Amino acid sequence: MKNAFLISLVIIIISACTGSGRQTVIPGPEKVRKTVYVIIDGVPADMIERLELPNIREIASRGCYARSYVGGTVGRYDQTPTISAVGYTDILTGTWVNKHNVPGNDNLEPNYNYWTLFRIAKEQEREVRTGLFSSWEDNRTVLIGEGKAETDSLRIDYVYDGYEKDYAAFPNKDFEMRIFDIDEFVSQKAAECIREEAPDMSWVYLWYTDDAGHIFGNGKNFDESVRLADIQIGRVWEAVKYREEHFDEEWLFIATTDHGRGYDGYHHGGQSLRERTTWVAVNQPVNERLSGGSSAATDINPTICRFMGFDVPRDIRWEQDGVSFYGGLDITDMEISPYDSTVILSWKCLDPEAEVSVWAAASNNFRNGCPDEWLPLGTVPASAGTFTADLTSLPPSDFYKFVLDTPDGSLNRWYDGVPEKYTTFKLQPEI
Ligand SMILES: [Zn+2]
């Protein structure tokens, strides 16, 4: 017995010294999980891949770096402008513009029925402390809708924003460098707050890279702005590493962008490949959704929800257009094809053992804050890869929502997709 005890002790000491704490021989309580995601504005994937960006590289070395996309489905009901506030809201809600209703940067009326990450966090039974560190105040007051009746007056616990309105502290400079100064301040505050207070879920938003693109286009000045943004990301990343070293915490760290840019780097808003192509660097292991290249900005919300163990009401979850790239994944890449009086639903199977239950709704009351009647159509093995829905067996309608639900998440597509107003949305470059 004594020898066994000594051997155990030696193993524990060795594993502690070699830093292999994750394989410790004595199971401890689960670490407290926390998340921070950082958006640097308007940085195309090819720039991340071409430049030497040590912090983004280091984060990705722990988990994954992969290309992602914004813009919804080209030419379909969910096509979405590649514009800043639109991209932030794709991420916040896990939905495209046909649901979240943020088609530009100004005069916005977000549909708060599609809950943001901050609303989901506040609806948990346990207390979830949230943080927002942002160079643009509208992220809180408009997109998240802090304090509004429609968001059940949600509150954010740690807020550092609004500096863009403070011209005394951040005076005008050439090339909009005051925005860079604000990003510096915001990233410093984020690092300080995470180090000291460790909010459970935070969003850090940094703006200047987008200005640099608009002002300079492709070139060494734009490149330099991205290198500086990497240093700002590193500041926050260091705080996360400090927390993991000194506290019993495990962090999810996501760095990403809100849209790409046109071929010359000046503009964005349209559906060209470079405008649609974004990227994600993440410090946790990921599933095939991200590593396989089919991940979208709308995946970040369900990814954070899963990592954090958030309970998300079914009707909210079934409206989300993304799926988690963390944890298991049964099916992905849902497609919908009308065929006579049927609709053929198809998907890519990743777990042949999983069961897929198929649901349909002939209404979209959810948009107005009311429930839809979801009808079960059947259950098939994921390996089937397809399901044919007979529209004549459903309530007559020119609009249907279909959901494929599995133990690991859900996929959804609209049939017909009326209204199509956003597919003809006038795409304007951001000013
Ligand atoms: Zn942007």
For 380-408, how does the pLDDT look when each residue is reduced to its tens digit (9 = 90+)?
Answer: 999 999 999 999 999 999 899 999 999 99
Is pLDDT of 7 > 50? no
Q: Which of 317, 349, 383 is the last residue of a domain?
A: 317
Query: In the prediction, which pLDDT does 17 show?
Result: 33
Query: In the prediction, which pLDDT does 376 show?
Result: 98
Q: Does residue 6 fall inside a structural domain? A: no
Query: In the prediction, which pLDDT does 26 show?
Result: 55
- Three-state secondary-structure class, residue 84: helix
Is pLDDT of 204 > 70? yes
Q: Do 299 and 410 belong to one domain?
A: no
Q: Which of 37-41, 65-69, 411-415, 416-420 has the lowest mean pLDDT?
A: 416-420
Query: How far is the centre of ligand 1, averaged over its atoms, from the C-alpha of 216 (Å)?
Result: 15
Query: How far is the centre of ligand 1, averaged over its atoms, from the C-alpha of 204 (Å)?
Result: 14
Q: Do 283 and 383 belong to one domain?
A: no
Q: Does residue 286 fall inside a structural domain? A: yes
Average pLDDT, the chain: 91
* pLDDT bucket at 23, cuts 50 / 70 / 90: very low
Q: Do 184 and 311 belong to one domain?
A: yes
Query: How far is the centre of ligand 1, averaged over its atoms, from the C-alpha of 72 (Å)?
Result: 16
d(CA 35, CA 396): 44
- The upper half-sphere exposure of residue 191, i.e. CA atoms within 13 Å in the direction of its Cβ, equals 17
Query: How far is the centre of ligand 1, averaged over its atoms, from the C-alpha of 258 (Å)?
Result: 6
Is pLDDT of 426 > 70? no
Residue 158, token pair as written in the block: 């740690």
Q: Which of 317, 344, 361 is the last residue of a domain?
A: 317
Query: In the prediction, which pLDDT does 253 show?
Result: 98
Helix (H) or strand (E) holding 145: none
Residue from 113, 176, 174 nearest 148 by CA: 113
Query: In the prediction, which pLDDT does 13 show?
Result: 36
pLDDT per position as a tens digit, 289-317:
999 999 999 999 999 999 999 999 999 99
Residue 121, token pair as written in the block: 């966090």
Q: Do 204 and 238 belong to one domain?
A: yes
Query: How far is the centre of ligand 1, averaged over its atoms, from the C-alpha of 39 (Å)?
Result: 9
Average pLDDT over residues 73-90: 96
Residue from 61, 91, 94 nearest 285 by CA: 61
Q: Do 313 and 349 belong to one domain?
A: no
Query: In the prediction, which pLDDT does 416 show?
Result: 78
Q: Do 308 and 356 belong to one domain?
A: no
Query: In the prediction, which pLDDT does 5 show?
Result: 42
Q: Do 294 and 350 belong to one domain?
A: no
Query: How far is the centre of ligand 1, averaged over its atoms, from the C-alpha of 45 (Å)?
Result: 14
Average pLDDT over residues 330-349: 93
Query: How far is the centre of ligand 1, averaged over its atoms, from the C-alpha of 398 (Å)?
Result: 35
pLDDT per position as a tens digit, 148-191:
999 999 999 999 999 999 999 999 999 999 999 999 999 999 99
User: Residue 309 is part of which domain span?
Assistant: 32-317
End-to-end CA distance of the chain: 73
Query: How far is the centre of ligand 1, averaged over its atoms, from the C-alpha of 312 (Å)?
Result: 28
Per cent of the chain over pLDDT 70 is 90
Which residues make up the environment of ion ligand 1, defined by Cβ < 5 Å? 41-42, 84, 210, 258
Query: How far is the centre of ligand 1, averaged over its atoms, from the C-alpha of 95 (Å)?
Result: 17
Residue from 318, 425, 322 nearest 365 by CA: 318
Query: How far is the centre of ligand 1, averaged over its atoms, from the C-alpha of 82 (Å)?
Result: 8
d(CA 326, CA 398): 36
Q: Do 140 and 271 belong to one domain?
A: yes
Q: Does residue 12 fall inside a structural domain? A: no
Query: In the prediction, which pLDDT does 30 show?
Result: 86
Query: How far is the centre of ligand 1, averaged over its atoms, from the C-alpha of 179 (Å)?
Result: 13
Q: Domain of 211: which CATH number?
A: 3.40.720.10
Q: Do 241 and 373 belong to one domain?
A: no
Query: How far is the centre of ligand 1, averaged over its atoms, from the C-alpha of 143 (Å)?
Result: 14
Number of separate domains in the chain:
2
pTM, two decimals, is: 0.90
Query: How far is the centre of ligand 1, averaged over its atoms, from the C-alpha of 41 (Å)?
Result: 5
Query: How far is the centre of ligand 1, averaged over its atoms, from the C-alpha of 201 (Å)?
Result: 22
Query: How far is the centre of ligand 1, averaged over its atoms, from the C-alpha of 307 (Å)?
Result: 26
Vertex 161, ends 157 and 165: CA angle to 5°?
Answer: 150
pLDDT per position as a tens digit, 40-69:
999 999 999 999 999 999 999 999 999 999
Q: Do 274 and 338 belong to one domain?
A: no
Q: Does residue 426 fall inside a structural domain? A: no
Q: Does residue 360 fall inside a structural domain? A: yes
Buried b (16+ CB within 10 A) or exposed e, 320-331: bbbbbbbbebbb
Is pLDDT of 428 > 70? no
Q: Do 393 and 288 belong to one domain?
A: no
Is pLDDT of 415 > 60? yes
Q: Do 298 and 379 belong to one domain?
A: no
Query: In the prediction, which pLDDT does 286 show?
Result: 98
Q: 281 or 20: which carries more pLDDT confidence?
A: 281
Is pLDDT of 25 > 80? no
Residue 429, token pair as written in the block: 């470059």
d(CA 381, CA 198): 42
